Structure 1
Amino acid sequence: MYQDFVAGWIAGGSGLLLGHPLDTVKARIQTMSGYNGIIDCFIKTFKNESLLGFYKGMFAPFISVGLLNSLLFSGYGLTLKWLHPNEKNIEHRKGLPMSEILIATVIGSAFQMVPAIPVELIKTKLQVQLDGGPSPAKHYNGPIDCARKLYHQSGIRALYQGGSVMAYRDMIGNLFYIPVFELLYREFHKREMNDTLAHMIAGGTAGSVCWFSICPFEVIKNRIQTTPSDGQKIYIPSLVKDIAQKEGFKAFYRGGLVLVIRGFPVNALIFVVYSRCMTALEKL
């Protein structure tokens, strides 16, 4: 199990460094007015906050995203090892039935859920916090201050704001993520494609498909998590109805292009790094 844990941690950290700027742009487009698309958001963020503005909220996920990624892959790998206790090599996974891949994905998703929700909440709140510009709105001095203030407002419940939507998002997303990767990678492997290239294309495509599939959940989650915590419960059906009536159906896919663009290189890197780390660790 430790191989999946270590490889997942390293791969997750690598993906975060590459993808966080686009993640910040995505969060702002989905929750804030004043941006006319991706390019406009990039320009205004850089002009008002410099390059550092794109890396807001990264400290908490940088420390923890490796852990979250490692929990996903650990739960996934542990389940497959439990189903096949005599198989020690990662190569055997290429021939497993998709039903087992789906079961392992669900269990891996459950492994990461509890720590993932507060980390995502803190990251999102920091990403939509403005520095500079005509009307700065800064409420939190970093992730620790954000967590402390949220906890003081409403207790531990405040750290799980939007948690139910995120649970649906991650479970559905991961059920696209790993199975799509496995299907594509197996096909490329049959065609004797270069292994690194196969991991890149299969991983990148899986990431883009995953994020596009859950874009509406991502929009709803971000709206909930960026709403000031005043102790009042936000009812998801009412929020969905309100967004649909005021902004139309397309609002649920706002920032979707960023998700798809970001999803490819980030997850291409994650799967390449994960595969190489697993191969190296199995030789120890």
Structure 2
Amino acid sequence: MKKLIIAAVVAAAVGGVAYANYAATQEVKKVVDKQISALSIQSGVDIKYSDISASIFDSSMQLSDITVSNSLSNEPVATIDSIDVSGYEVDAIPPHTGFVMTNFRFSDEFLAQLPENSNNKLASTSYNVNSSLDYNKDSGDSDFALKVTANEVADVNFNLGLAKTTALMEASLAASQMQNEAADGQLTLEQQLQQQSKMMAALTQLEPRRINLSIADEGELKAVVDSFLTAQGMTHEQFKQVVAMQLQQVPVSEELVTAITNFVNGLSSFSVSAKLPEGKGMMEINQQIQMLMGQPEELAKFINLQASGA
């Protein structure tokens, strides 16, 4: 008897969760459809998906089998296997949000319209995008991470750490809420100007703390670069000479010169990072950087620059 009662409770709970997820999906669908409609108007493309689902446990949603087409000619532009968004909240600033786009690929029709000297390997490969934003409400710090993978070509990683981001988060939330409340997802000119003003004010409060950019070969990076150079009428040796000449004319640190030179020669990996002084806002740091532009080694010390290439 106890087993039957437990089974009944579990079944009811599962059924309740399933219904809650279904209800959440319907609400999310309304928001997504409105945002897609607004994006289509702005970009001139039609975006359609075959399925959408949402989960109440991690505030996540997934779009599947997405197609992007030209709104005028109706010709397909690209396809996407899926887009996953996690941590999204309509009326609050979440501590973590994630975005994953899987297998973005341009259509054959779109590729056929590219100029003959286009880099076909880079254009025809598939792309994965993975990004996240972590926000600490107590400290006001935020960490943004982005990874873009061009299948069999290269991985590109970008990371940014910021302090005093609360005002920016609040402005972003207000802008999102205003757009969701708009009848057609379109803001009036006055509303756009208001949001831009709030965003600009919030940006002035930011304190950049650290930044990192890295590139890693996934097998075909050299072939892609050489194909691009050939289309420009240049060999790889000529390219190396041009880069070396430009590096002599630009005031950059020896460490960065070595990293760039090694990367141009090997096209295997490249990484550059900076750790900025705490307690300094964007404007103050920019002013200091401008003052040190003619002193590359001093500038490298100021921003704690580290670079490597192979």
TM-score, normalized by the shorter chain, greater than 0.5: no
- Identify, as 1 or 2, the structure richer in helix: 1
Greater strand fraction, Structure 1 or Structure 2: 2
Greater relative contact order, per chain length (Cα 8 Å cut-off, separation 6+) = 1
Who wins on radius of gyration, i.e. which is larger? 2
**TM-score, reference length from structure 1:** 0.31
